[in-house]
Amino acid sequence: MYETTYHRAGSVADAAALLAKAEDAKLLSGGQTLLPTMKQRLAAPSDLIDVSRIAEMQGITDNGASISIGAATKHADVAGSTVVKQKLPGLAKLAGGIGDPAVRHMGTLGGSISNNDPAADYPAALLALGATITTSKRSLAADEFFTGLFETALDEDEIVVSVSFPVAQKSAYAKYPNPASRYAMAGVYVAKMGDGSVRVAVTGAGQGGVFRVPEMETALAGNFSASAVAGISVGADNLLSDIHGSNAYRANLVTVMAKRAVEAAG
């Protein structure tokens, strides 16, 4: 790891000020992706701004029709939260399936979505539930937040503060983890919202990161059952193809995971 200078931010404003001042700073939350990347010298930020202890970025709040989760909330805390388990069990299960127990004690929601790894789990939940991301500057819909592979709509000096998840009628996530890395080869989050509309988001498979599947959404809105999506394929053209699996294999996985997610949602 190259040399870097560590700062512990006390507030979002403090972190934003440090970010503006430093030459090439990165925000450090749980560090479960950033630190391995730095160890491999694939990233060499001049400064690290630790946002993990900022009070405004902690905690899970039940707002009735939605649940708000602070960006620095650990995966283990989302997985274990009584309110999340009760109102969005699919989201609790997703958080409890990220990495392994030690990683879940450090990794955070804000870190995951800001990095927008194409195989990360959280982006699928945000997109499928139509979550709203509150940053240090504005509010963004999940549909406009995720813009591409490791790309988001965040400005250089913008910090994710919290995410608000609308409570779905029912929702669930199913993923096929890579047997070695446990990252999603394909993960599908399916949500039936309060108004009866359905949203389906896929992670792990797309060349441009997480994406929605309108065809599945329409089919499920009419008939919320696994058989409704069994015949729908996303097509292999825009999917990832690598040593872990071809794009055709991933296209098949997406359909299988969509069926499993619908079944799990009940």
Partner 1 sequence: MSQISMVVNGKRVSGTVEDRTLLVSFIRENQGLTGTHVGCDTSQCGACVVHVDGKAVKSCTMLAVQANGSEVTTLEGVASGGELHPVQAAFREHHGLQCGFCTPGMIMSAIDMINRHGAGNLDEATIRHELEGNICRCTGYQNIVKAIKAASDQMAGMAQAAE
Question: Which residue, 3 or 242, has its beta carbon nearer to partner 1?
Answer: 3
In whole angstroms, give the CA distance from residue 236 to residue 18: 43
Structural element, H or E, at residue 34: helix 34-39
| Joined tokens for residue 206 | 């797309």
Site string for partner 1, 67-96 (x = CB under 8 A): ---------x--------------------
In whole angstroms, give the CA distance from residue 53 to residue 48: 14
Residue 167 is given by DSSP the state P
**Closest to 166 in 3D by CA, of 97, 64, 95:** 64
Using the structure block, give the residue that is written with the tokens 């934003």: 16
Among 70, 89, 90, 99, binds partner 1 (CB under 8 A): 99
Among 15, 16, 25, 28, binds partner 1 (CB under 8 A): 28
In whole angstroms, give the CA distance from residue 45 to residue 2: 8
- The reply on whether position 187 binds partner 1 by CB under 8 A is no
- The reply on whether position 51 binds partner 1 by CB under 8 A is no
- The reply on whether position 101 binds partner 1 by CB under 8 A is yes
Question: Which residue, 165 or 183, has its beta carbon nearer to partner 1?
Answer: 183
Residues that bind partner 1 (CB under 8 A): 1-6, 8, 28, 31-32, 35-36, 38-39, 48, 50, 52, 76, 99-103, 105-106, 182
